[in-house]
Amino acid sequence: MKSYFLRRLLLIPPTLIGITLLVFLIVRLAPGGPVQRDVAQMMGGAAGQGGGGSRESEGVKIAPEQIFEIQERHDRDKGVMRSYLEWLGVLPRDILRVAKSFPQGKREVELPVPGTVQTLTAKLGENGELQRVPTQKINPELWKLRLVPISQLEKRWNSQMEADFPQGVQPRVVLYRSCFEGLLQGSLGRSDKYGDPVWSLIAQRIPISLFYGVISMMLIYSVCLPLGVLKAIKHRSWLDTSSSIAVFAGYAIPSYVLGAFLLVFLGARLDLLPIQGFVSENFSELGLGEQIIDLTRHALMPLACYLVGSFAFMTFMMKNNLMDNLAADYVRTATAKGVPFRRAVFKHAFRNSIIPIATTFGQNITILVSGSFLIEKIFDINGFGLLQFNAVLEKDERVVLGVLAISATLMLIGNILSDLCVALVDPRIRFK
């Protein structure tokens, strides 16, 4: 069994690489990325300043240097595979850099050194090689120069613009400082929108989604398993029928519809519960008891939305599995030999009935932190699900990949935990 789980653990890195690479390619190649968005905004702003009003911005031109600066700001100045390997941490990436084009007719360009008041002058040699002026005291091992030829600039232009490559474009010089800083080094980079480290954005939102996820799972298992057992024992009774109606009614209502209804009815009209936020604005000023009450009042409506659709699945899985085992020969034989019915249910049938439930236990780890962006959007909760949703809409590449890496890792670990739970519940299982 140890060798089986060890092989499963070793499969996590290649699976994670495959998932993140696929999503990275989709984000990079999908239309409407951050470069196209900034170019459209710049063209719209130029048209408005030129008196275009509501007319289309035909004839508005953007300098090639502006296009190249936008690409460099969004890390679109390198190849897709190179960028992915830099994010992964296999290749060094530029942590600080500045780029400029050579002035027209000149072979020297002055570059400011990021984070300092110093400047560095780069010179283009006779043979096209890049040189630095030797009189400047800049550490050549720390700060390096890279020449971007016109051929590469033309490829970058054609990837973003439909117009022909303009004449007179000069090569660009990049002054950069690089190091290995990627997923393998424990870094997820910085958000393109917020400018904050991705880890800090995730760390701020995971506790919120984890709070709802843990409480939801505790309530689901503590209510649905006993209810499923009771429904199996009291099959076709008034209790079974009435509880089935209630559970199916909850299952038929979408969570976001219930959230909107509770928000309007209990929050806006009756003013019984707060309508938005995880806690109140003055939460830090409250005492411990008041904080618990405030947190509970804010959590009641979102928790109802999280739970309404999950009760039916878990309850009927427990009921149907237990009814199948109660009708099995080994249970009838046990009761025929004088074993009390209660003992036959909980000692024999119940353990076999929770085997299918154990297979889904590990998958709940991903649900614990993923949350629901619809529920978080309705109640204005800055959770993990809303962070994922906004990152996808805004093409915030590093946040998308960071969230994906964490979610995929938890999913893979959850699958392993599901196998472990099955092995613990069912002694017949032997992983080899």
Could you give the C-alpha distances from 122 to 94, 105, 118, 175, 383, in angstroms and in order?
18, 15, 13, 9, 47
- Model confidence at 49, pLDDT cuts 50, 70, 90, reads low
- Strand pairing of 144-148 and 119-124? unpaired
Rg (CA), the chain: 30
Spacing of C-alpha 269 from chain mean position: 35
More confident residue, 87 or 309: 87
Domain 198-425 fold is MetI-like fold (1.10.3720)
Number of helices and strands (H, E) in the chain?
Answer: 19, 6
Are 137 and 110 a contacting pair, CB within 8 Å? no
Three-state DSSP at 386 gives helix
pLDDT for 24 equals 92
Q: Give the H or E element holding residue 121.
A: strand 119-124
Question: What phi-psi label fits residue 91: left (phi over 0), alpha (psi between -120 and 50 degrees) or beta?
Answer: beta
pLDDT for 88 equals 92
CATH 1.10.3720.10 domain locations along the chain: 198-425
The string of pLDDT tens digits covering residues 344-372 is 888 878 888 888 888 877 777 777 666 67
Spacing of C-alpha 368 from chain mean position: 13
pLDDT for 48 equals 53
Side chain identity at 125, as an amino acid letter? G
Average pLDDT value for residue range 5-16: 87
The string of pLDDT tens digits covering residues 213-268 is 888 888 888 888 899 999 998 888 898 899 889 888 888 888 888 888 888 888 88
Question: Residues 60, 63, 67, 72: what is their CA dihedral angle, to the nearest 10 degrees?
Answer: -150
Side chain identity at 33, as an amino acid letter? G
End-to-end CA distance of the chain: 5
- Model confidence at 141, pLDDT cuts 50, 70, 90, reads confident
- Weakest-pLDDT range from 86-100, 261-275, 368-382: 368-382
